[in-house]
Amino acid sequence: MASATQLLRRALVLILLMSAAAHASTAAVRNADIHVLLDVDGSALVTESYQFIGGPQQIERTIPLRRDLEKRERPFVIDVVRVQSDQGTPLDYSARRRADSVVITFTPVDRSATLTYWVRNAARMGGDRDWLFWTATDGTYGYGSATVRVTLPIAMAERFAANAYLRPLGEPGTGALRLWSNSGGLPGRIDRNTFEVVAPGTLVPGVQVLVDVSMPKGILQERSAFVQGWWYVEANPIVLLPLVTLAVVLLVRRWRSRDIDVRRAIAVRYEPPEGLSPAEAGALIDDRIDPRDVAATLVDLAVRGYIHIQSTEPKKGQPDYRLDLLKPSEEWGGLRAHERTILFHTFYGGYWTELSSLRLRFPSLVPTFAKDVMRALNARGMYRRSPKAVPLYGEASFAAVVLLLLLANASGLVVLFDSGWAAAVSILASAALVVALVPRPTPKSKSGLEQWREIRGFQQFLEAVDADRLQRMTPDLFERYLPYAMALGVESSWTAAFDDVAIPVPEWFGADGGLVDFRLFGDSIDALCAQVLAGLRPSRRRGNAPGAAERRAKPAASNAASAG
**pLDDT over 60 at 401, yes or no:** yes
Question: What pLDDT score does 514 carry?
Answer: 52
Question: What pLDDT score does 550 carry?
Answer: 38
> With bands split at pLDDT 50, 70 and 90, how would you rate the model's confidence at 349?
confident
Question: What's the distance, Cα to Cα, between the start and end of the chain in Å?
Answer: 93
Q: Which of 42-51, 218-227, 382-391 has the least mean pLDDT?
A: 382-391
Q: Which of 118-122, 304-308, 403-407, 440-444 has the least mean pLDDT?
A: 440-444
DSSP class of residue 261 equals: T
What's the CA gap between 406 and 398, in Å, rounded?
12
User: If you average pLDDT over every residue of the chain, what do you get?
Assistant: 78
> With bands split at pLDDT 50, 70 and 90, how would you rate the model's confidence at 562?
very low
Question: What pLDDT score does 258 carry?
Answer: 52
> With bands split at pLDDT 50, 70 and 90, how would you rate the model's confidence at 356?
confident
Question: What pLDDT score does 206 carry?
Answer: 82
Q: What is the mean pLDDT of residues 537-548?
A: 35
Question: What pLDDT score does 549 carry?
Answer: 36
Burial profile 398-427: b = 16 or more Cβ within 10 angstroms, e = fewer: beebbeebeeebeeeeebbbbbeebbeebb
Residue 324's nearest CA partner among 304, 345, 344, 350 is 350
With DSSP H G I counted as helix, E B as strand and the rest as coil, what are the percentages for the chain, rounded to 5? 40, 25, 35
Residue 97's nearest CA partner among 335, 378, 409 is 409
**pLDDT over 70 at 97, yes or no:** yes
For β-strands 29-38 and 143-151, DSSP reports them as parallel
Q: Which of 146-155, 169-178, 320-329, 337-346 has the least mean pLDDT?
A: 169-178
User: What is the enclosing helix (H) or strand (E) of 530?
Assistant: helix 518-536
Contact 167, 136 (CB under 8 A): no
What's the CA gap between 147 and 194, in Å, rounded?
13
Question: What pLDDT score does 196 carry?
Answer: 94
Question: What pLDDT score does 56 carry?
Answer: 67
> With bands split at pLDDT 50, 70 and 90, how would you rate the model's confidence at 538?
very low
Residue 295's nearest CA partner among 517, 525, 497, 523 is 525
pLDDT tens by residue, 268-323: 888 888 889 999 999 998 888 877 888 889 889 988 999 888 877 777 667 777 88
pLDDT tens by residue, 4-21: 555 555 554 445 444 544
Q: Which of 308-312, 392-396, 399-403 has the least mean pLDDT?
A: 392-396
Question: What pLDDT score does 552 carry?
Answer: 37
Return the C-alpha torsion angle 555, 560, 563, 564, nearest 10.
-130
Sheet holding 29-38, edge to edge: 78-84, 112-119, 44-52, 29-38, 143-151, 194-198, 188-191
What's the CA gap between 254 and 373, in Å, rounded?
31
> With bands split at pLDDT 50, 70 and 90, how would you rate the model's confidence at 3?
low
Contact 201, 170 (CB under 8 A): no
Q: What is the mean pLDDT of residues 43-49?
A: 94
**pLDDT over 80 at 170, yes or no:** no
Question: Three-state SS across 35-67?
Answer: EEEECCCCCEEEEEEEEECCCCCCEEEEEECCC
What's the CA gap between 85 and 87, in Å, rounded?
5
Proportion of the chain above pLDDT 90, given as a percent? 20
User: What is the enclosing helix (H) or strand (E) of 136?
Assistant: strand 129-137
Question: What pLDDT score does 231 carry?
Answer: 82
Of the two residues 322 and 440, the one the predictor is more confident about is 322
What's the CA gap between 46 and 120, in Å, rounded?
11
Q: What is the DSSP string of 240-258?
A: GHHHHHHHHHHHHHHHHHH
pLDDT tens by residue, 494-535: 877 777 777 777 787 776 555 455 455 555 555 665 555 554
Of the two residues 87 and 546, the one the predictor is more confident about is 87
Question: What pLDDT score does 561 carry?
Answer: 38
Distances (CA, A) of 198 to 33, 71, 152, 164, 186: 9, 30, 18, 10, 8
**pLDDT over 70 at 211, yes or no:** yes
Residue 29's nearest CA partner among 210, 212, 209, 211 is 209
Question: Three-state SS across 267-333?
Answer: CCCCCCCCCCCHHHHHHHHHCCCCHHHHHHHHHHHHHCCCEEEEEEEEECCEEEEEEEECCCHHHCC
What's the CA gap between 550 and 489, in Å, rounded?
7
What's the CA gap between 282 and 27, in Å, rounded?
82
> With bands split at pLDDT 50, 70 and 90, how would you rate the model's confidence at 1?
very low
**pLDDT over 50 at 23, yes or no:** no
pLDDT tens by residue, 463-492: 887 666 766 777 678 888 888 988 898 888
Residue 28 sits at φ, ψ, to 5 deg, of -75, -30
Contact 33, 49 (CB under 8 A): yes
Question: What pLDDT score does 299 carry?
Answer: 87
